[in-house]
Amino acid sequence: MAYPKKLINPNEEVVLDLRPHWWFFYKHIFSGLVLIGLLVLTMVLSGTPKKILAWVVLILAIVWAIWLLIKFISWSRTYFVVTSKRVIYRTGVLSRHGVEIPMDRITNLNFHQRIFERVIGAGTLDVQSAGEEGTTMFENVRHPDGVQQEIYSQMEGNTQSGSAGQASAIGKAVAEAMGSQSSAGQDVATQIERLAELRDKGHITAAEYEAKKAELLAKM
């Protein structure tokens, strides 16, 4: 089941939508192997011990199946989502727990994989962020090295987008302050004051300021 689209903002795009790695079920895998071993033992025995063990195996198998079903529902309701704006984690069936980390607040990413986890493609991802949360650890992440790279890629994209927006705003302010054709009728003194502010903030050079100031004074 994909992450609900209604929980995604209009201005963001889902990049990764992951469920936990199958190693999420490791306890069920090992206990299932034990049940198989008991079943084989039941087939070898005979008489009363076989009947007793058969009932024990049947009861354990029913309990194991219910346990597995509950775990599977929990797995299907656990989301690790990377969008163009944030990292999202949701888990729980009746009671829900969620974490959201905006891309612009992430300060560092680390992943950990033991040898066996490298073989099966699982691991732990640590996301360090500015604020009270500090470091958030996500376990059973599929290919955490690839997820790390994708998050860094989205962080870089957000940084470039923010810089472009800031440059656009500065450019607009400079254009307005420097008196485009539509603002030719504005008060010259006000325009000069705005130019001075832009010069003081380092958005235009002193030479540009003096050149435009002389041009505005010539219009008086």
Cβ count near 169 (within 10 Å): 10
Nearby residues of 144 by Cβ (< 8 Å), 6 or more positions away: 111, 112, 113, 122, 123, 124, 125
| CA dist list (Å): 159 to 16, 32, 100, 146, 176 | 19, 48, 19, 20, 26
pLDDT for residue 182: 44
pTM: predicted TM-score of the whole model, two decimal places: 0.65
- Provide the β-strand partners of residue 14: 83
Structural contact between residues 123 and 141, judged by C-beta atoms closer than 8 angstroms:
yes
pLDDT for residue 181: 45
Domain boundaries, the chain: 10-154, 178-218
pLDDT for residue 9: 86
Nearest CA to 24 out of 147, 139, 145 is that of 139
In the chain, the amino acid numbered 144 is: P
Q: Architecture of domain 10-154 in CATH?
A: Roll (2.30)
- How do the pLDDT tens digits run along the chain, 220 residues long? 788 888 888 888 999 999 999 999 999 999 999 999 999 998 888 888 888 999 999 999 999 999 999 999 999 999 999 998 999 999 988 888 888 999 888 889 999 999 999 999 999 999 998 876 678 899 999 999 999 999 988 888 776 655 545 555 555 655 565 555 444 445 767 777 777 777 776 667 777 777 777 777 776 6
| CA dist list (Å): 15 to 26, 81, 86 | 28, 8, 10
Radius of gyration of the chain (CA): 31
**3-state helix/strand/coil string of the chain:** CCCCHHHCCCCCCEEEEECCCHHHHHHHHHHHHHHHHHHHHHHHCCHHHHHHHHHHHHHHHHHHHHHHHHHHHHHHCCEEEEECCEEEEEECCCCCEEEEEEHHHEEEEEEECCHHHHHHCEEEEEEEECCCCCEEEEEEEECHHHHHHHHHHHHHHHHHHHHHHHHHHHHHHHHHHCCCHHHCCCCHHHHHHHHHHHHHCCCCCHHHHHHHHHHHHHCC
